[in-house]
Amino acid sequence: MILLITLLFYIIKSKPNLSGFIETDIEQEIKLDYSAKAKSIIIKFNLQSQDALCLVSQTSLDLVQLTELTDLTKSKSQSFSYDYQSYLANSTYQLVEIQFQTLIYMRCLETNYSNEKSFYELYISENPYIETCNNDCNGYDYPVIKNSVCVSMQCNCLDQSFGLYCQFQSITIYSNILSKLQIESHQWIYLEYELSTTNLEFQCLSLEEDVYYSLVFKQTPQVKIPTLQNSKNLQSKVNVQEQLITNQSNFNVDVIYIGLYNNQTNPIELQFKIVTYYEDDQSLYERNKIIIIITVCVIAALLLFTIGLSALRTRKKRLIRKQVQEAIRRNLNQQGNIDQQSPFRQANPSIYKGFQIRFIKDHFKANYYNKFITTYPGLSQFEECAVCLESMKKANNKLQNVCAVTPCFHIFHYICLQEWLLRQKNCPFCRTEYTRKKIIQDYPWLDIANLQIKNTDSNYLCRIKNQIESVNESRIELTNHQQLDQINQLQEVKD
């Protein structure tokens, strides 16, 4: 029952207080009954001709000409009201609100006289009259209530509506999504788009002639709207970046309204899309390309630097190795370990009568000099290599710090001992003769990998591990050891 009463009340309230037809270019006088509750008058015109503009005034409108009305903002000298924005938008509706008067005049002007009548609806409202908020910003419909509101005597349009009093409806569209639009003959359709970049392009499929586009930025109040005066012909592809940048300098907003106008006599179906190119895309691509080029150049430079540094180190190592080998050969010659009768014997492969290189590497392991001395302090007496006569304790480079120890516990540069044992099978220091059998079976005194004494019966080995011995004490042990070696060698010869 309550619902029925509410519906009946709404129907009665929405019914106009007065309605009828008005002929083009003929003034019509209307007298209204006075009511203490009446605050304003709202008149809605339904036009048959889109070229018509309807005026409402408290005085006669006989002398008013359409050419005098050229601005959206009414001059203070004018005593009449009109909906010029809807006229520019070729809308079939126009809405005017004035303060309540018992006598008003109406007249619809037209540039090309068509003798067509327009229908009007007149409502007496109890709401106070606000000149800049027609129908309380609810558009053409009265008394329909929408979400748009009048704030500080300005219409704040919501829910996809815009215009001076939110009379135009818009469709929200998004980037890179194709929209199918139906546009009636000589009508506008409005699209609302939120800008993420100004570098965008309009694209249309199945485009026909006499279709125009116009765009404006969102404002409060929305003074500017898409009109034919500021429109351009719509092409299959239109880049609007320059147009947006020029207009955006005047507005600090990121929402635009795009108006599409069908100037044909028949309705059309249009497929419309906004394509964005983020700086943004191209700029980002350029930046990435520059970053990639710089990165590649830096990596190439570092690679070349590394290769060059490695080459220098390799060259330096080769030079050091060559110097060491020359020193070895020089000292071998001086010590009479090669045949000095032949000056070219050094380059002759026949001089290599010692062990094979693989055997030397397996049984004469390399290690750092400091590690030998730390584990066996008794070996600290050997500070120089007896082969090349270069220091092991104060090595000039890493290569000279790498040493090897013989089974008779004498230390030499690793590369020097290798060169020596390739030529002959004895110790460079004490001349103890080696054989493969002795090295493998009889002389496993020192585990080079772990630096451990295996033959613990040797007093000399115990002494060099536990304390530093003098050279003389070492020689006594070495002499006894040499005599034992000679006896073993004679026994092998007899065998």
Q: Which of 241-245, 321-325, 394-398, 466-470 has the highest mean pLDDT?
A: 241-245
Comparing CA positions, the residue from 428, 424, 253 lying closest to residue 335 is 428
Higher per-residue pLDDT: 250 or 185: 185
Mean pLDDT of 131-140: 90
Name the CATH superfamily, with its identifier, for domain 354-494: Zinc/RING finger domain, C3HC4 (zinc finger) (3.30.40.10)
> Average pLDDT, stretch 209-237?
91
Q: What is the pLDDT of residues 256-287, one digit of tens each?
A: 999 999 999 899 999 999 998 765 555 666 77
Query: Would you list the DSSP string of 175-240?
Result: BT--EEEEE-TTEEEEEEEE-S-S-EEEEEES--SSEEEEEEE--SS------GGG-EE--SEEE-
Lowest average pLDDT, out of 91-100, 245-254, 377-386, 471-480, goes to 471-480
Tell me: the pLDDT tens digits for 7-41? 555 555 678 989 999 998 889 999 998 887 899 99
What pLDDT band is residue 369 in, cutting at 50, 70 and 90?
confident
Per-residue confidence band for 469, with pLDDT thresholds at 50, 70 and 90? very low
| Angstrom distance (rounded) from CA 221 to CA 208 | 34
What does the pLDDT read at residue 462?
Answer: 59
Class of the CATH-defined domain 2-148: mainly beta
Helices (H), 335-446: 357-363, 369-375, 398-401, 414-423, 436-437
User: What pLDDT does 260 receive?
Assistant: 95
Domain ranges in the chain with CATH number 3.30.40.10: 354-494
Whether 337 shows a pLDDT value over 50: the answer reads no
pLDDT digit string (tens) for 227-261?
Answer: 998 899 999 999 998 888 887 766 667 899 999 99
CA terminus-to-terminus distance, the chain: 136
Q: What is the dihedral of CA 168, 172, 176, 179, to 10 degrees?
A: -70
pLDDT band at residue 439 using 50, 70 and 90 as cut-offs: confident
pLDDT digits (tens, 9 = 90+) for 386-413: 888 888 888 877 778 888 888 888 889 8
By CB atoms closer than 10 A (0-12, 13-18, 19+), residue 467 is exposed
Predicted local distance difference test score (pLDDT) of residue 256: 93
pLDDT at 277: 79
pLDDT value for 409: 82
What 3 state SS string does 354-374 have? CCCHHHHHHHCCCEEHHHHHH
What pLDDT, on a 0 to 100 scale, did the predictor assign at position 252?
Answer: 67
Residue 340's pLDDT band (boundaries 50, 70, 90)? Answer: very low
* Of residues 464 and 394, more confidently modeled: 394
**With 80 as the cut, is the pLDDT of residue 120 above it?**
yes
Closest by CA to 161, choosing from 235, 225, 228, 75, is 225
Return the structure tokens found at 260: 């599409």
**Of 84-93, 106-115, 245-254, 363-372, the least confident:** 245-254
Query: Hey, how many other C-beta atoms are within 10 angstroms of the C-beta on 118?
Result: 21
- Asked if pLDDT for residue 365 goes beyond 90, the answer is no
pLDDT of residue 452: 55
pLDDT reported for residue 334: 55
State the Cα–Cα distance between residues 371 and 367, nearest whole angstrom.
7
Greatest mean pLDDT range, 61-70, 195-204, 441-450: 195-204
Q: Which two tokens stand for residue 471?
A: 């050279």
So what's the pLDDT on residue 444?
Answer: 55
Residue 71: band (very low, low, confident or very high) from pLDDT cuts 50, 70, 90: low
Q: Where in the chain is the domain with CATH 2.60.120.380?
A: 173-276
CATH level 3 topology of 173-276: Jelly Rolls (2.60.120)
Q: What is the pTM of this model?
A: 0.56
pLDDT of amino acid 253: 74
At 341, the pLDDT band (50, 70, 90 cuts) reads very low
Burial of 459 (0-12, 13-18, 19+ CB in 10 A): exposed
Report pLDDT for 495: 47
The answer to whether 27 touches 104, Cβ cutoff 8 Å, is no
